[in-house]
């Protein structure tokens, strides 16, 4: 039995795929023949440059972005839609159709060249349409090859995919470490009932097995990237994702993380540093980014992590996302001494009232103090903001604007996003509690195309408390005027961000 695990476009080209690296190690440990194939690192740039190559102007579609437009077109291709059914995407489709078909043919050739019995796709956001198109081509050319889709997004779209696309044989809603080996063994006998979190077909029905979570993350093997040319990532200096925990202790109103991984678990600090040391020794890893939702989930863990890194003197740089609380001056200095170069904080808003509605578990005063403390220690500070939360008023948006102004000397990077209604988040589950009067499609040009399979419901809650014009103008100010780029700050090396 030969398994090929595939990372498809569109994804970051700075880092090798952590989940597939771990699953490769899991299968090798079980003596299963496995090949890890990263098509994203080879084809992502070429695909995204099609717009320039064919001199395509997005016009009114610009607000959705190239990735969204591209994936919508590919999804329409997967669904075998006629040219006249492409609507506003028709002009773009006609210009890049031949290019896309050629590139998909090349990618399919690469997969089939590994002679797989099973092809597994890891799916996150915009990887979905690429994975589906490749799955379709694989089944057309090699019908006996089994295709399985996995990844957190399958919790949202897995059932719809199984109902719609018969060329997808299986979908996994489970963590792969205890699902994939059981699945490969089950293939020999066709008995899938005991494979955790698996969706499969039986007598015309779709069966869904209950999920089963990995209890002890310390026992998860280190990722295996032996099949990858790591010099292709990030200009020859790849950033390695490192995992300290799964799940989230917090319950932010806009987030579905508790649904994806309802039970919070974490590795020991020693185990995390063991992995960093292993990756440095085996692959020359020098830059790490923690995939955790919040690295400061436990002050004791964070302190132990820093102390262990200092003790071993690995000389690696690392950064992470964090909640804006619980980091005092002493801990901040310790983190900097351990070569923590950047922390990205989920501040979201400068209004205490909106913070409370979001269930952030902190206050503006605490967040502000945390940012300044971390900056003072010499760590690059980034913040995430969300505008147009359903209960946000114009005065709250102005407070966010003033928060950024007040702290602009301490913030090097800011990411601003419009609120989106995410499936199975508290806002999604109880919209009236947050004053949502109506829900509309994010993309009015589509019906049951990309949005129906995308983990973000494809809907946006209309905030009627802020005039559209004021929101748009303030958003532009936040994005383009006040939010200074850390690359322009004196004494900050670009690489230090990583």
| pLDDT tens track for 149-200 | 999 989 988 999 999 999 999 999 999 999 999 999 999 888 999 999 999 9
pLDDT given for residue 141 in this prediction: 97
Those residues whose C-beta lies under 8 Å from the C-beta of residue 478, and which sit 6 or more positions away, are 385, 387, 400, 401, 404, 414, 416
pLDDT given for residue 415 in this prediction: 85
| pLDDT tens track for 394-423 | 899 889 989 988 998 899 888 888 888 888
Specify whether 134 is located in the same domain as 254: no
SS3 313: coil
pLDDT given for residue 418 in this prediction: 81
Whether the per-residue pLDDT at 218 is higher than 50: the answer is yes
CA angle 71, 110, 187 (to 5 degrees): 90
In a domain, 76, yes or no: yes
* Structure tokens belonging to residue 395: 């005065």
Specify whether 203 is located in the same domain as 241: no
Specify whether 121 is located in the same domain as 254: no
Provide mean pLDDT across the span 24-43.
Answer: 97
- Compare 192 and 57 and report the one with higher pLDDT: 192
- Provide the CATH number for the domain around residue 78: 3.40.50.280
Specify whether 294 is located in the same domain as 401: yes
In a domain, 444, yes or no: no
| pLDDT tens track for 74-124 | 999 999 999 998 988 999 999 999 999 999 999 999 999 999 999 999 998
Specify whether 173 is located in the same domain as 311: no
In a domain, 50, yes or no: yes
Specify whether 32 is located in the same domain as 144: yes
What is the C-alpha separation between 480 and 403, in angstroms, rounded? 16
Whether the per-residue pLDDT at 470 is higher than 70: the answer is no
Residue by residue, DSSP assigns 259-282 as HHS-S-EE--HHHHHHHHHHHHHH
pLDDT given for residue 440 in this prediction: 59
**In terms of Cα–Cα distance, which of 411, 386, 413, 390 is closest to 400?**
386
pLDDT given for residue 488 in this prediction: 46
Specify whether 161 is located in the same domain as 261: no
* Structure tokens belonging to residue 420: 């989106």
Percent of the chain whose predicted confidence (pLDDT) is above 90:
72
pLDDT given for residue 464 in this prediction: 62
Whether the per-residue pLDDT at 429 is higher than 80: the answer is yes
Could you identify the residue written with the tokens 């889709």? 149
**Residue 58 pLDDT level (bands cut at 50, 70, 90):** confident
For 171, the domain range is 2-208
In a domain, 440, yes or no: no
Specify whether 180 is located in the same domain as 261: no
**Residue 495 pLDDT level (bands cut at 50, 70, 90):** very low
Provide mean pLDDT across the span 260-269.
Answer: 94
Say if residues 371 and 346 touch (Cβ distance below 8 Å). no
Specify whether 185 is located in the same domain as 312: no
In a domain, 137, yes or no: yes
In a domain, 248, yes or no: yes
* Structure tokens belonging to residue 144: 């006996």
Q: Where are the alpha helices (DSSP H) in 142-238?
A: 154-164, 176-187
Provide mean pLDDT across the span 239-249.
Answer: 96
| pLDDT tens track for 137-151 | 999 999 999 999 999
In a domain, 424, yes or no: no
- Compare 417 and 440 and report the one with higher pLDDT: 417
**In terms of Cα–Cα distance, which of 409, 380, 386 is closest to 479?**
386
| pLDDT tens track for 357-400 | 999 999 999 999 999 999 999 999 999 999 889 999 889 988 99
Whether the per-residue pLDDT at 462 is higher than 60: the answer is no
* Structure tokens belonging to residue 489: 């700050």
What is the C-alpha separation between 87 and 162, in angstroms, rounded? 26
pLDDT given for residue 217 in this prediction: 97
Mean pLDDT of all residues belonging to the chain: 89
Those residues whose C-beta lies under 8 Å from the C-beta of residue 306, and which sit 6 or more positions away, are 331, 334, 335, 337, 338, 340
Read off the pTM. 0.91
Whether the per-residue pLDDT at 43 is higher than 50: the answer is yes
Could you tell me which residues are beta bridge partners of residue 439?
Answer: 461
Specify whether 197 is located in the same domain as 104: yes
Specify whether 203 is located in the same domain as 246: no
Specify whether 33 is located in the same domain as 157: yes
pLDDT given for residue 477 in this prediction: 64
Whether the per-residue pLDDT at 280 is higher than 70: the answer is yes
In a domain, 454, yes or no: no
Whether the per-residue pLDDT at 227 is higher than 80: the answer is yes
pLDDT given for residue 419 in this prediction: 85
- Provide the CATH number for the domain around residue 398: 3.20.20.70
Domain boundary among 208, 228, 261: 208
Q: How are strands ordered across the β-sheet holding 239-242?
A: 239-242, 287-290, 317-322, 340-348, 380-387, 413-418
Angle between helices 329-337 and 364-376 (to 10 degrees): 40
**In terms of Cα–Cα distance, which of 383, 344, 360 is closest to 482?**
383
Total domain count for the chain? 2
């Amino acid at each position: 039995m030969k398994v090929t695990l595939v990372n498809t476009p569109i994804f970051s080209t700075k880092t090798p795929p952590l989940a597939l690296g771990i699953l490769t190690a899991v299968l090798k440990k079980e003596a299963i023949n496995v090949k890890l194939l990263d098509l994203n690192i080879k084809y992502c740039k070429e695909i995204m440059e099609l717009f320039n190559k064919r001199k395509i102007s997005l016009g009114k579609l610009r607000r959705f972005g190239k990735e969204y437009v591209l994936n919508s077109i590919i999804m329409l291709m997967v669904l075998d839609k006629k040219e006249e059914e492409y609507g506003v995407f028709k002009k773009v489709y006609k210009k890049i159709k031949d290019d896309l078909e050629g590139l998909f043919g090349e990618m399919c050739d690469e997969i089939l060249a590994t002679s797989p019995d099973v092809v597994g796709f890891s799916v996150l956001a915009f990887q979905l349409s690429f994975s589906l198109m490749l799955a379709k081509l694989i089944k057309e050319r090699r019908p006996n090859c089994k295709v399985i889709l996995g990844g957190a997004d399958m919790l949202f779209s897995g059932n719809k995919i199984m109902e719609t696309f018969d060329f997808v044989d299986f979908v996994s809603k489970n963590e792969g470490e205890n699902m994939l080996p059981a699945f490969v063994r089950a293939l020999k006998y066709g008995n899938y009932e005991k494979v955790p979190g698996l969706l499969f077909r039986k007598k015309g029905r779709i069966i869904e097995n209950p999920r089963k979570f990995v209890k002890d993350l310390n026992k998860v093997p280190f990722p295996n990237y032996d099949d990858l040319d790591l010099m292709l990532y990030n200009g020859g200096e790849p950033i390695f994702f490192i995992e300290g925990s799964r799940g989230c202790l917090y319950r932010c109103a806009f987030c579905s993380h508790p649904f994806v991984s309802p039970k919070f678990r974490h590795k020991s600090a020693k185990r995390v540093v063991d992995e960093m040391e292993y990756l440095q020794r085996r692959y020359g890893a020098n830059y790490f980014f923690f995939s955790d939702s919040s690295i400061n989930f436990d002050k004791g863990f964070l302190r132990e992590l820093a102390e262990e890194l200092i003790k071993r003197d690995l000389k690696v740089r690392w950064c992470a996302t964090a909640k804006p609380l619980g980091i005092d001056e002493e801990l901040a200095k310790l983190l900097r001494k351990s070569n923590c170069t950047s922390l990205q904080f989920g501040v979201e808003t400068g209004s205490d009232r909106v913070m409370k509605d979001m269930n952030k578990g902190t206050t503006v005063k605490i967040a502000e103090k945390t940012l300044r403390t971390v900056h003072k220690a010499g760590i690059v500070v980034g913040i995430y903001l969300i505008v147009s939360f359903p209960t946000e008023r114009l005065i709250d948006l102005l407070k966010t604007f003033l928060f950024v102004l007040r702290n602009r000397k301490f913030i090097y990077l800011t990411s601003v996003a419009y609120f989106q209604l995410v499936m199975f988040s508290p806002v999604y589950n109880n919209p009236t509690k947050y004053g949502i009067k109506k829900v509309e499609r994010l993309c009015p040009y589509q019906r049951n195309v990309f949005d129906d399979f995308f983990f973000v419901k494809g809907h946006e809650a209309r905030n009627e408390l802020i005039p559209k014009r004021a929101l748009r103008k303030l958003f532009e100010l936040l994005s383009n005027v006040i939010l200074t780029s850390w690359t322009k700050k004196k004494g900050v090396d670009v690489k230090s961000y990583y």
